[in-house]
Amino acid sequence: MKKKVEKILEIWHKHFEDEDKQYSEFESSDIEYFVSCLLYNHLAFQKALDTMKTIDLSYDFISACGDEYDEILSIIKGIEINDEGQKIEFLQNFIKESQAKYSADELYLLNRMEYHIDGVMQRYESGEEAKKVEFVAPKKKSSNPLLR
């Protein structure tokens, strides 16, 4: 499995070495982040929040990754892990290894993924079911300062 992920990273890092193939605001750490998204979607975590069963990839990234995208999807589909805990650990390890390659300024997306997958692991370890996320708009405040 690890060799397959290393192959994916090798392909895309080589592809994006060419600055003409990079999109605006491209950072090398984006590659690891989007690979983590592809792995996340492929591994299909049972303990993921309903609103986070899959993660959408950036259009900028997909449109810039070229013909290699189909090859990479094929490699991703060849990664098979049946145990939920092992799936989560595999992705956690990938994220930690990826974070070690970059400076703190380059880790925003990888840190977001780490936070999310750590939540999946917490639910897995505790046996807790994912709770539905409800987004509630804040209450409107009165324009009268005495009624606030």
* pLDDT tens track for 3-44: 999 999 999 999 999 999 998 888 999 999 999 999 998 898
- Lowest mean per-residue pLDDT among 2-6, 92-96, 136-140: 136-140
pTM of the model as a whole: 0.81
Span 122-128, mean pLDDT? 88
**Confidence at 114, pLDDT banded by 50, 70, 90:** very high
Q: In which domain, by residue range, is 103 found? A: 2-147
Please determine, for residue 62, whether its predicted confidence score (pLDDT) is greater than 70. Answer: yes
Number of H helices and E strands in the chain, helices first, is: 6, 0
Domain count, the chain: 1
Rounded to 10 degrees, the C-alpha dihedral 122/27/66/68 comes to -50
**Confidence at 140, pLDDT banded by 50, 70, 90:** low
Residue 52's pLDDT is what? 81
